[in-house]
């Protein structure tokens, strides 16, 4: 998958921009605050239909304007597709492929897989489990539409169960039978999600280790550990039945808390180095190398599972690594044939020197 062209209208700070891209490496250079990261965010929109910064769609409309448009021409095997994202301030976002509107955002996920490496990645180590769950879900959703469907249905059902628990508390009443209506769908969807998360992480680990060694030159053993309430019933041949037991056992606690306390919505990932949390023992450089290795492993798994080479978005990569490491990283990505690369940087000459040592097929856009 190659993005040939991109046009932006009223997207964040860009009134109007047009780009004709290289199939290999594309760089956006300019001072801080000119909107380089916003261009990467537009490319992220093309992939998953939303901002990687977590901004609501309406907040991405340029100030004093009524809409934004992101439009691209994408080379898809032997044909060209037009992807268009339109968000008027007064109505909901529309995503079109070749002028046909998607009924659901989930129908688009996986068409143009992408991986972002940015300064915000450090949040994966420092933040709560929610950010790591979202990261895991985003990885798997780009490779498995059934997983995304199960995840959406699970989240809806958990919200309904939680709403009922809050209703009971507010009205000082309780109906166990009404609450148990949700047990079957929650356990069915949850068990399938659990199985896929567990399998994905197991197969991701050796790839993370490989790239960590290549990037850092270190011999430390790094690992991604999947944590879930359902692992307590790993000996059970039926995780859905074990999940139902967890829901039943936790009813009194859930009534007190007014939310569902057990389930895969509480899953987490622990990042380890030599058997200890990397958050606690890893140096800043080791943590950076680990996060980049994790993202490269993500690209590898997506490519392996879908046959598509994800686009790679590198935001302020020179702030994360020295010039030599950046060169090694870009060269590694090129050698692995991971896909089209988009880079932001504040220094044009530095970017030119690094990129041209690796590939003549590159374009630099001054923003």
Residue 314's SS3 state is strand
Contact between 293 and 211 (Cβ < 8 Å): yes
How far apart are the C-alpha atoms of 316 and 319, rounded to whole Å?
6
| Residues in the chain, total | 367
How far apart are the C-alpha atoms of 163 and 171, rounded to whole Å?
12
Residue bearing tokens 């109505």? 91
Contact between 6 and 21 (Cβ < 8 Å): yes
How far apart are the C-alpha atoms of 130 and 67, rounded to whole Å?
31
Q: Angle CA(220)–CA(224)–CA(225) in degrees, nearest 5?
A: 120
- The number of beta carbons lying within 10 Å of the beta carbon of residue 29 is 20
- Measured CA distances, 336 to 68, 300, 340 (Å): 35, 9, 12
Tokens of 168: 């009971």
How far apart are the C-alpha atoms of 45 and 313, rounded to whole Å?
12
Bridge partners (DSSP) listed for residue 28: 344, 365
> Residue 116: enclosing H or E segment and its boundaries?
strand 114-117
The terminus-to-terminus CA distance of the chain in angstroms comes to 25
Binding residues for ATP: 30-37
Residue bearing tokens 């958050």? 279
Contact between 190 and 151 (Cβ < 8 Å): no
Binding residues: 30-37
């Amino acid at each position: 998958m190659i993005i040939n062209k991109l046009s932006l209208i009223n997207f964040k700070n860009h009134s109007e921009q047009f780009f004709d891209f290289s199939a290999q490496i594309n760089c956006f250079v300019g001072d801080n605050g000119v909107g380089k990261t916003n261009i990467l965010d537009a490319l992220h929109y093309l992939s998953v239909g939303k901002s990687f910064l977590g901004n609501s769609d309406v907040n991405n409309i340029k100030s004093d304007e009524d809409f934004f448009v992101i439009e691209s021409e994408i080379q898809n095997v032997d044909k060209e597709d037009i992807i268009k994202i339109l968000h008027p301030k007064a109505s909901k976002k529309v995503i079109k492929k070749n002028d046909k509107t998607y009924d659901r955002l989930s129908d688009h996920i996986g068409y143009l897989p992408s991986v972002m490496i940015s300064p915000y990645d450090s949040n994966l180590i420092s933040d709560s489990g929610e950010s790591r769950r979202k990261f895991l879900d985003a990885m798997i959703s780009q490779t498995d539409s059934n997983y995304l469907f199960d995840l959406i249905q699970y989240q809806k059902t958990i919200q309904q169960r939680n709403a009922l628990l809050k209703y009971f508390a507010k009205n000082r009443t309780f109906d166990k039978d009404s609450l148990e209506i949700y047990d079957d769908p929650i356990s069915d969807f949850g068990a399938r999600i659990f199985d896929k998360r567990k399998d994905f992480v197991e197969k991701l680990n050796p790839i993370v280790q490989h790239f960590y060694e290549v990037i850092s030159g270190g011999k430390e053993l790094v690992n991604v550990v999947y944590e879930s309430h359902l692992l307590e019933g790993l000996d059970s041949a039926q995780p859905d039945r074990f999940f139902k037991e967890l829901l039943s056992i936790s009813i009194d606690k859930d009534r007190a808390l007014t939310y569902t306390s057990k389930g895969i919505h509480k899953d987490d990932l622990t990042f380890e180095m030599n058997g200890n949390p990397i958050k606690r023992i890893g140096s800043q450089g080791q943590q950076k190398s680990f996060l980049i290795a994790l993202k490269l492993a993500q690209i590898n798994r997506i490519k392996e599972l879908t046959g598509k080479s994800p686009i790679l978005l590198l935001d302020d990569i020179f702030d994360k690594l020295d010039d030599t490491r950046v060169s090694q990283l870009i060269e590694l990505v090129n050698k692995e044939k991971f896909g089209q690369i988009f880079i932001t940087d504040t220094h044009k000459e530095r970017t030119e020197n690094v990129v041209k040592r690796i590939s003549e097929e590159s374009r630099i856009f001054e923003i």
